[in-house]
Amino acid sequence: QVQLVESGGEQVQAGGSLRLSCTASGRTFATYAMGWFRQAPGKEREFVATIGRFTSGITYYADPVNGRFTISRDNAKNTVYLQMNSLKPEDTAVYYCAASTSGISTTTHSYAYWGQGTQVTVSS
């Protein structure tokens, strides 16, 4: 089992940048594909980005964030990052990281472990 703790969320102006971090417990972090999801008030949780296991380098992004967000991982630090640039008010949401044993995926049910979330607010 793995425990995930997100950090880095805060309020920023539109056009600004933030880097979210998600640190995992345990010694098997590298074996998990990792994902970032977000949930805005009144909306369903939606996929943002995912990165493959180990050092595969495989990444995939949701269309609304492609070209603005970058997911990366540091297996030595048990941490996955989400670099968010050119932020827009519609990026406002609680951001969750998640771990999957079944490879990269864009669907929530593929991820067995979830963090508690971190709030990102983008003001216009």
Reported as a single tens digit per residue, the pLDDT across 72-113 is 999 999 999 999 999 999 999 999 999 999 999 999 999 999
The Cα 91–Cα 109 span in angstroms is 22
* The token pair that represents 116 in the structure block: 């508690």
Task: Determine the pLDDT at residue 1.
Answer: 84
User: How would you classify residue 26: left for phi > 0, otherwise alpha for psi between -120 and 50, otherwise beta?
Assistant: left
Q: Are strands 46-51 and 79-84 parallel, antiparallel or unpaired?
A: unpaired
pLDDT of residue 57 exceeding 90: no
